[in-house]
């Protein structure tokens, strides 16, 4: 058995799982301190289905703590950003595109040093240990407690980042955390560096949170390993979280999508999550959310880490319906639904009223919407179906038909069938889908690098990169026999010789729970 | 008319320059930040080409190489002005102004960095009228101003002068080789010319047009008006007077490969309504070269073929194209000076190995 817990901003969900079967599920409000919420969740699970600590093989936790800490600019460590690349890159030093208040919140200091590589692996300039020691001394004087190190083209060759990290650590001692950019982001220096600085600023908080979570779980007599969910839906162990807290940033939507898929038994599907104000459409491919290919802004900072690609429409259960045109949203009555909607005695025509009038839902007082013209109701619902259908079509990556899974309280607005896509599936246990998503026990490894591919050796080069990704997944704890390549992307880079090509590979396997 | 460009104008200019990049030219984001950093609260003087003194000395500046390298190996910042100074030193003459050689993509920004740093004004004109993959594809060259001598600068202070006389293709080829040795990106100053040459050989007012396009798209979105009408209205009084929607649909296939250092490929766009027949195909080599509707050519280089978001009109580069995007394809006519036999020999279909002849986009109109 294992336990999945999703600590969201509003609710904490928990499930007790046996393989892919839900034995018990609970949901309650998130507590300000992490630990008491977790303790309560585990105790509630015990009430639902009795177990002893030794029955549990693993505990998987999804949390929004880290992204919230950044957005609220709270509990961030004094952080230095050190970049290797001089004389190049001087024009835009680290932290150049950060909002002032966040630089203040991390007491940010920015340093440039020699080092870095060209796209083809030639050095830009040699590392200067004396220069690095001088920077480290300055960091020490400034009270820096965490350091982010980036280097030009470190996705091609990262040895200078490692070496600089060693030198800086020597000067600053073991209490100062070092984060290296090649372990965090992909090609795109500023974006990768930004993600690394965010990671560095969260390192102290990560240790606190992991300690808190561990204590809470251990106090329940559970000695099993603890994992946290990453943005891409794979897991990382507690030691990894201490090093890479930034990798948990977008685990919320990811866990919701994966949970919806698991409960519906589908690996590849579109997930339509209809809430009160918006409908979020995402795509799962082989059980993992498709990720954005572009830069993503987090708290006003441009980054390029892996985030699920979600398309939001202004359609939800609380969306206001125009009584003339029948258009829905984007304005919504939001949390005031239970007072403002017609079925609750209010005076605003909402999408929920339409669903009740059509007999799709039994909420509030149906007699209050009996006067609505049935042709009008049909037209509104048809329009919603059309827009959702278009959004799903926009998200899918090939013309192949794809099943649609509908979740969320507002999914009553969706029809039984969508044109182009057929039956709409509605899984059970949706209330705790996030926790179910967190409990899916898979780990992965990703490679994203630029390679010079010699003529006639493409196959060989690709095979080597794939093997590297598989090794990484196994190193992260995957059962070797279960590891598969789930994502492969190859983009040639123009204007460069030697067929310089950017290759991205992701391998994923089942967590080896030793059972 | 002389006018002042400020930091607040740069996002609109970048959007317009991406549109004029017709799928290529590189993302101006890094370039925009470089200008912002140097410029601060000051402004750049932009000169109208028609008002230039005939003996004004203009040295255009640009970067060449792989835009992908720029997002990783950011410049030191000294390179663009060093390239200009190197050419000045070689020629024994100081520049009175700089100018873009290419108004599409990142090269819209490089002369602005030079201007912000040196205080030189920038001439509102360029030599491509869009983006092209090679330095020799210039109206300057077509009308008798050659690229040599060319100065190339790198971030370590490297300075290289290339002089190939009238042979602009040889200049391009040598400069390309050195750029690779510099790490994939080089900064250049070339096509030095007089004010009289500018009036005769440059595509006029392309900076102000890029800015006006970017601004019109933004304002239309903010006011919930059609950005496509805004684009058409902005272009109507310019030398690029004719714009029409060639196709609207969904990207259903993208094929890419690298040959001879260029990103070549094609994209297929299908009607949004699956019951409607029709197939739209765009062939690209860094930039979009030719658009075919059900096999028939509807727009061809050097006319502009721009793929933009179906609703927001945000320009989409060939690198950014992917399955499922809702897009509109806009065909925009180029000025007459880019369509003469000599101009077409330099950057028309034949220059890209395309057998089909050039036919102006407006003459494909189906009424």
pLDDT digits (tens, 9 = 90+) for A16-26: 998 878 899 88
Angle at the Cα of A442 (from A440 to A443), degrees rounded to 5? Answer: 145
Half-sphere exposure of A134 (CA within 13 A, CB side): 8
Task: Compare CB distances from A92 to B34, B78, B256 and report the shortest one's residue.
Answer: B34
CA pair distance A376, A361, nearest whole angstrom: 17
- At what angle are helices B110-118 and B79-91 packed, to 10 degrees? 70
CA pair distance A481, A476, nearest whole angstrom: 14
Q: Do A496 and B262 touch (CB under 8 A)?
A: no
DSSP A55: G
For residue B133, give the chain A residue with the closest CA: A495
Q: How confident is the model at residue B200 (pLDDT cuts 50, 70, 90)?
A: very high
Residues of chain A found within 8 Å of residue B73, distances taken between Cβ atoms: 85, 88-89, 116, 118-119, 124, 152-153, 189
For residue A88, give the chain B residue with the closest CA: B76
Q: Tens of pLDDT along B108-131? A: 999 999 999 999 999 999 999 999
Sign of CA dihedral B285, B289, B291, B295: negative
Half-sphere exposure of A112 (CA within 13 A, CB side): 16
For the beta sheet containing A146-151, the strands, ordered from the edge strand earlier in sequence to the opposite edge, are A109-114, A79-86, A146-151, A177-180
CA pair distance A136, A2, nearest whole angstrom: 44
Query: What mean pLDDT is predicted for residues B210-239?
Result: 94
Q: In sequence order, what are the beta bridge partners of B259?
A: B262
Strands B43-47 and B122-123: parallel
Q: Tens of pLDDT along A92-123? A: 999 999 999 999 999 999 999 999 999 888 89
CA pair distance A18, A11, nearest whole angstrom: 23
pLDDT at residue number B272: 81
Q: Is residue B73 within 8 Å of B152, Cβ to Cβ?
A: no
In order of A58, A333, B286, B324, the CA distances from B295 in angstroms are: 59, 50, 21, 22
- At what angle are helices B29-39 and B110-118 packed, to 10 degrees? 10
Beta strands in chain B (DSSP E): 3-6, 43-47, 57-58, 61-65, 122-123, 125-126, 150-153, 159-162, 185-189, 193-194, 203-204, 243-259, 262-270, 280-285, 287-293, 296-300, 304-309, 326-332
Sign of CA dihedral A20, A23, A24, A30: negative
Residues of chain B found within 8 Å of residue A125, distances taken between Cβ atoms: 156
Q: What is the ipTM of this complex?
A: 0.88
Task: Compare CB distances from B74 to A88, A497, A501 and report the shortest one's residue.
Answer: A88
Please state the domain extents for chain A: 79-203, 267-427, 441-510
> What are the tokens at B273?
């309504």
> What are the tokens at B176?
């390309």
Task: Compare CB distances from A494 to B66, B77, B326 and report the shortest one's residue.
Answer: B66
Q: Is residue B17 within 8 Å of B210, Cβ to Cβ?
A: yes
Using CB atoms within 10 Å of the CB of residue A479, give its burial: 0 to 12 exposed, 13 to 18 middle, 19+ buried.
middle
Q: Which residue, among A382, A376, A312, has the nearest Cα to A349 in the 3D structure?
A: A376
Q: In sequence order, what are the beta bridge partners of B309?
A: B327
Q: Which of A91, A188, A270, A400 to probe by mutation at the B interface, max B CB count within 10 Å?
A: A91
Q: Is residue B130 within 8 Å of B138, Cβ to Cβ?
A: no
CA pair distance B367, A160, nearest whole angstrom: 63
CA pair distance B159, B155, nearest whole angstrom: 10
Residues of chain B found within 8 Å of residue A97, distances taken between Cβ atoms: 33
Q: In sequence order, what are the beta bridge partners of A229?
A: A235
CA pair distance A57, A514, nearest whole angstrom: 8
Q: Which residue, among A9, A10, A11, has the nearest Cα to A432 in the 3D structure?
A: A11
Q: Which residue, among A281, A275, A286, has the nearest Cα to A308 in the 3D structure?
A: A281
Residue A284 sits at φ, ψ, to 5 deg, of -105, 130
Interface of B with A (CB under 8 A): 30, 33-34, 37, 65-69, 71-78, 155-157, 176, 179-180, 183-184, 250, 252, 256-258, 261-263, 274, 286, 319-320, 322-326
CA pair distance A386, A376, nearest whole angstrom: 15
H/E run at residue A41: helix A34-48
Residues of chain A found within 8 Å of residue B257, distances taken between Cβ atoms: 492
pLDDT at residue number A495: 62
Q: Which of B10, B31, B39, B68 to probe by mutation at the A interface, max A CB count within 10 Å?
A: B68
CA pair distance A234, B266, nearest whole angstrom: 35
Domain annotation for chain B: domains and CATH numbers: 3-204 (3.40.1610.10)
Q: What are the average pLDDT values for consecutive 10-residue runs of chain A, which has 515 residues? A: 83 85 83 79 91 91 83 90 97 94 94 93 94 97 97 90 97 95 87 95 92 90 90 85 87 83 85 82 83 76 81 85 86 80 90 90 86 90 89 77 83 83 81 82 80 76 89 88 82 66 84 69
pLDDT at residue number B198: 98
Q: Tens of pLDDT along B41-72? A: 999 999 999 999 999 999 999 999 887 788 89
Tell me how far the alpha carbon of residue A125 is from its chain's centroid. 36
SS3 A380: helix
Q: Write the DSSP string, A406-462.
A: EESGGGGGS-SEETTTEEEE--S-GGGHHHHHHT--EEEEEEEEEEEPPTT-HHHHH
Q: Is residue A176 within 8 Å of A145, Cβ to Cβ?
A: yes
Task: Compare CB distances from A395 to B157, B261, B324 and report the shortest one's residue.
Answer: B324
pLDDT at residue number A40: 87
CA pair distance B196, B206, nearest whole angstrom: 18
Q: Tens of pLDDT along A25-69? A: 887 777 777 778 888 889 999 999 999 989 998 999 988 778 878
* Residues 6 or more apart in contact with residue A361 via CB below 8 angstroms: A352, A355, A412
CA pair distance A381, A276, nearest whole angstrom: 16
Q: Closest approach of chain B CAs to the CA of A218, in angstroms?
A: 45
Q: Is residue B366 within 8 Å of B156, Cβ to Cβ?
A: no
CA pair distance A297, A318, nearest whole angstrom: 28
Q: Is residue B99 within 8 Å of B126, Cβ to Cβ?
A: yes
Find the range with the poorest average confidence among A80-84, A406-410, B23-27, B133-137.
A406-410
Strands A79-86 and B193-194: unpaired
Q: Is residue A329 within 8 Å of A314, Cβ to Cβ?
A: yes
CA dihedral A215, A217, A221, A226 (to 10 degrees): -110
CA pair distance A182, A193, nearest whole angstrom: 9
B339 pLDDT above the threshold of 90: yes
SS3 B164: coil
Q: Which of B26, B38, B40, B74 to probe by mutation at the A interface, max A CB count within 10 Å?
A: B74
Q: Considering chain B, what is the average pLDDT of its residues?
A: 93
Q: In sequence order, what are the beta bridge partners of A157?
A: none
pLDDT at residue number A514: 59
> What are the tokens at B35?
């200008």
Q: What percent of chain B has pLDDT over 70?
A: 98
CA pair distance A33, A287, nearest whole angstrom: 32
Q: Do A124 and B73 touch (CB under 8 A)?
A: yes
* Residues 6 or more apart in contact with residue A339 via CB below 8 angstroms: A345, A346
> What are the tokens at B191?
């096509």
Q: Which of A393, A495, A499 to probe by mutation at the B interface, max B CB count within 10 Å?
A: A495
Q: Tens of pLDDT along B295-309? A: 999 999 999 999 999
Q: Do A394 and B34 touch (CB under 8 A)?
A: no
Task: Compare CB distances from A189 to B34, B71, B319 and report the shortest one's residue.
Answer: B71
Tell me how far the alpha carbon of residue A60 is from its chain's centroid. 15
Q: Do A393 and B324 touch (CB under 8 A)?
A: yes
CATH topology of domain A267-427: Nucleotidyltransferase; domain 5 (3.30.420)
> What are the tokens at A326?
């029948």
Q: Where are the alpha helices (DSSP H) in A281-341?
A: 337-340
A79-203 carries CATH number 3.40.50? yes
Q: How confident is the model at residue B260 (pLDDT cuts 50, 70, 90)?
A: low
B365 pLDDT above the threshold of 60: no
Q: Do A494 and B33 touch (CB under 8 A)?
A: no
* Residues 6 or more apart in contact with residue B270 via CB below 8 angstroms: B249, B250, B252, B278, B279, B280
- Cβ-Cβ contacts under 8 Å between A and B: the total is 125
């Amino acid at each position: 058995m294992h336990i999945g817990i999703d600590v969201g901003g509003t609710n904490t969900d928990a499930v007790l799982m046996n393989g892919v079967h839900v034995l018990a599920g609970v949901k309650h409000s998130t507590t300000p301190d992490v630990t008491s919420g977790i303790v309560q969740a585990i105790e509630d699970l015990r009430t639902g289905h009795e177990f002893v600590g030794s029955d549990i093989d693993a505990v998987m936790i999804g949390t929004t703590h880290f992204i919230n800490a950044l957005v609220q600019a709270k509990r961030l460590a004094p952080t230095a950003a050190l970049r290797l690349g001089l004389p190049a890159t001087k024009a835009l030093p680290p932290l150049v595109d950060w909002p002032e208040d966040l630089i203040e919140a991390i007491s940010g200091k920015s340093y440039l040093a020699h080092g870095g590589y060209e796209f083809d692996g030639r050095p830009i300039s040699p590392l200067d240990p004396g220069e690095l020691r001088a920077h480290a001394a300055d960091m020490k004087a400034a009270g820096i407690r965490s350091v982010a190190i980036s280097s030009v083209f470190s996705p091609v060759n990262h040895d200078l980042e490692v070496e600089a990290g060693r030198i800086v650590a020597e000067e600053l001692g073991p209490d100062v955390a070092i984060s290296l950019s090649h372990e965090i982001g992909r090609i795109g220096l500023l974006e990768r560096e930004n993600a690394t600085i965010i990671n560095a600023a969260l390192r102290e908080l990560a240790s606190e949170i992991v300690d808190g979570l561990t204590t809470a779980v251990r106090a329940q007599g559970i000695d099993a390993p603890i994992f946290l969910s990453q943005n891409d839906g794979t897991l990382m162990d507690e030691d990894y979280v201490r090093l890479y807290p930034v990798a948990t940033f977008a685990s919320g939507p990811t866990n919701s999508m994966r949970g919806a898929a698991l409960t519906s038994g589908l690996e590849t599907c579109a997930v339509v999550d209809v809430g009160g104000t918006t409908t979020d459409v995402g795509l799962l491919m082989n059980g993992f959310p498709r990720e954005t290919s572009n830069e993503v802004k987090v708290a006003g900072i441009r980054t390029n880490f892996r985030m699920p690609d979600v398309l939001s429409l202004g359609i939800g259960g609380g969306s206001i319906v125009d009584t003339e045109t029948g258009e829905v949203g984007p304005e919504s009555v939001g949390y005031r639904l239970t007072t403002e909607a017609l079925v609750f005695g209010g005076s605003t025509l909402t999408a929920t009223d339409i669903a009740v009038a059509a007999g799709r839902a039994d909420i509030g007082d149906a007699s209050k919407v009996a006067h609505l013209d049935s042709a009008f109701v049909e037209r509104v619902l048809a329009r919603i179906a059309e827009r959702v259908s278009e959004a799903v079509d926009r998200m899918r990556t090939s013309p192949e038909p794809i099943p649609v899974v509908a979740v969320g309280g507002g999914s009553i607005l969706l029809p039984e069938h969508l044109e182009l896509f057929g039956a709409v599936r509605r899984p059970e246990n949706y209330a705790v889908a996030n926790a179910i998503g967190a409990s899916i026990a898979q780990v992965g490894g990703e490679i994203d690098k630029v390679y010079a591919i010699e003529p006639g050796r493409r196959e060989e080069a690709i095979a080597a990169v794939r093997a590297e990704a598989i090794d990484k997944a196994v190193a992260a704890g995957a059962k070797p026999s279960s590891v598969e390549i789930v994502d492969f992307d190859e983009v040639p880079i123009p204007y460069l010789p030697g067929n310089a090509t950017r290759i991205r590979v992701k391998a994923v396997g089942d967590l080896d729970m030793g059972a | 008319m002389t006018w002042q460009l400020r930091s607040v104008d740069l996002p609109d200019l970048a959007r317009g320059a991406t549109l004029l990049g017709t799928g290529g030219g590189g993302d101006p984001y890094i370039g925009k930040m470089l200008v912002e950093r140097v410029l601060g609260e000051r402004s750049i003087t932009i000169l109208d080409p028609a008002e230039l003194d005939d003996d004004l000395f203009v040295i255009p500046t640009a970067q060449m190489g792989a835009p992908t390298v720029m997002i990783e190996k950011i410049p030191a910042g000294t390179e663009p002005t060093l390239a200009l100074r190197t050419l000045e030193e070689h020629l024994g003459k100081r520049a009175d102004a700089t100018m873009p050689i290419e108004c599409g993509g990142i090269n819209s920004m490089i002369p602005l960095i030079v201007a912000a740093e040196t205080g030189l004004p920038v001439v509102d004109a360029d030599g491509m009228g869009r983006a092209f993959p090679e330095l020799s594809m210039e109206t300057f060259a077509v009308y008798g101003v050659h690229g040599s001598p060319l100065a190339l600068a790198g971030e370590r202070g490297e300075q290289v002068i290339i002089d190939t006389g009238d042979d602009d293709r040889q200049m391009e080829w040598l400069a390309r080789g050195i750029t690779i040795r510099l790490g994939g990106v080089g900064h250049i100053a070339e096509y030095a010319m007089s004010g009289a040459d500018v009036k005769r050989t440059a595509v006029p007012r392309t900076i102000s047009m890029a800015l006006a396009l970017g601004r019109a798209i933004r304002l239309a979105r903010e006011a919930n008006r059609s950005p496509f009408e805004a684009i058409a209205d902005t272009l109507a009084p310019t030398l690029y007077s004719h714009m029409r929607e060639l196709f609207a649909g969904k990207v259903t296939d993208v094929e890419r490969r690298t040959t001879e250092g260029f990103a070549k490929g094609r994209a297929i766009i299908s009607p949004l309504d699956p019951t409607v027949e029709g197939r739209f195909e765009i062939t690209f080599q860094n930039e979009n070269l030719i658009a075919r509707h059900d096999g028939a050519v509807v727009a061809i280089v050097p006319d502009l073929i721009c793929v933009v978001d179906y609703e927001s009109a945000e320009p989409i580069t060939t690198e950014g194209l992917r399955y499922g995007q809702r897009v509109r394809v806009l065909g925009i006519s180029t000025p007459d000076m880019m369509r003469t036999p000599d101009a077409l020999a330099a950057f028309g279909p034949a220059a890209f190995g395309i057998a089909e002849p050039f036919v102006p986009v407006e003459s494909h109109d189906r009424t």
